Structure 1
Amino acid sequence: MWALYTICCGILLTINLLVRCEADEPPPKWEYYNPLSGVTLLCDWCAPGEFMVTECTETTVTQCRTCAENEYTEHYNHVRECFRCRECLKAHEHVLLGCTPTNNRQCVCEDGYFLASEFCFQHTKCPIRYGVVQRGTPWKNTKCRRCSSGTFSNVESSMATCRNHTDCGPMGLCVTQRGNRGVDNVCGICPHYNTSKDVFRERWAYRSR
């Protein structure tokens, strides 16, 4: 059994390495027609993070150069210049990943905001009687839902969920004002409690259960 497991792991590792190698390999050479010589040549591509300075000739390979600061190319290419990295200058956004020769700068909305139509908007606050069922992210707005029976929300919030009404019984109290979707139950002394001695007796009986 152990031998079979070892063989399977070896096969998976080999496949993974092959896929990695294939992913890192440059694409087939590209055709370049030299108008001076009238010859069509197969030129090498420039690697990610580079751009082409001159095409290949019959005696030289493609000449490439590394992208300058704040510029990038993500793929094998023969472009004449690198692409400019985006700037994170819009309101309420900041840098998630910095610019490198092989990757564009990644921007993200700050906490409490989400991206929509290329701008950062504040997460919606669920109104009273509604609770958050899905918190907002830098890419999605808050999702709200009306509180169900037995629950409530008495605040406008982009984070608060609906809460269960307070159960007065375990505290030896009774509901003196029943809550709704916007307010909690109000607990108080039960009507049949006439003296402090009765209150003590009832609470002791509850604890002794």
Structure 2
Amino acid sequence: MRKCQLCILLLILISQSYTISHSAVSGAGTSCPENEYRAKKGFCCDKCHPGFKLKAECPEPDKRSECVKCENGTFLEKSNYNKNCFRCQNCNKPHSKEISPCKHDTDRICVCEGGYYKTKLDDYEWECSPCKECGHGQFKTGECNAEQNTNCTCKENHYLADDNKSCKPCTECGKWCKHLCITSTPIPVKSIHPTSPSGTLPPILVPVCACITVVALGVFMLYEGIRLQRKRNRALSTQSSSAAPEDQTFIITVPQDKINESVPFINQPCNPEQHRKLPDCVPREIKAHEFFYFVLDEVPIGRFKELARRLGVSEQNIDRAEQDHRNCKDAHYQMLKVWSDSGSGGGNNVLPYHRIQMFIETLKDMCLVNCADNIENRFLSQDTSSSS
């Protein structure tokens, strides 16, 4: 009986040592290169090229996997180890047409006909919707194309109506009608409280500062008077000590550095160019990268691709941004850059006012009102205040 127990204990120790050594071998090198993947047997195998699917894993390290080309009507765009290819989409939806055929490494590309734009229903389904016309009180800021709807903006002194399809003229003070918020009612004078609130100057500080300014001005004027008197006395004593004969011309030499002081300012010639009227204001430039980074912190990550599509960024540019950038925010930044470069006005790396306003209206169409308000307060409110 004792010998049996010793045998069982020995078998348990041997099995545990085998398990530890096997897990150490299989766990060695937990990561594979980018063009390889970890096979079921525990070592790295090479991936299949785009347009090919995996038929059999590599039998051992340094051996190639067996890959076969995707069948007609299917595709795989990236290097992979999938055992099945994706089926190409069909351009059989109403008002859609094909512009690029299905290939083994690229999907079929479908667009909408003129007068329609592509609307995403989910990650896979879409349809062609008719382009909208700008409503009453609006003007067009972006043309309708195959990827985005017509963009409309309210005219000056108008605000968006409740139906989000037209704009109404401003008749009273409100968020979009701030120019009507000026009141002629005099501001009531409040009594001075003994304890002044933080951030305001004590009432006694104003007369004290005024007295100090008057005293300083008086001391300066007294000093200048004494200095001029001494200078005048010195000049008179010099003239009396070296008096010239009556028939001799008396020449006074003025130092070069005093010539400009003796010439009154009113005798200087007037340059007509100086009287040209300057512009009332200089519009505030909004840097594109400053706007992009603010938007990346405001818009939810899960809604960003939808926002890019609504702004007119094509599916190819969205996929390219995701392929070129592993970091999610870098990919979203690239999508915003494509949208910015597709617009007009503003100059290099500068966004014009109407493009940002169009961006905000798009967020509101997506029911992201809070994001739209934060962006508006950050950029459009400052722009308005700087130009008023």
Q: TM-score if structure 1 supplies the norm length? A: 0.50
Q: TM-score if structure 2 supplies the norm length? A: 0.28
Tell me which protein shows more helix as a share of its residues: 2
Tell me which protein shows more strand as a share of its residues: 1
Relative contact order (C-alpha < 8 Å, sep 6+): which is higher?
A: 1
Structure label with greater radius of gyration: 2
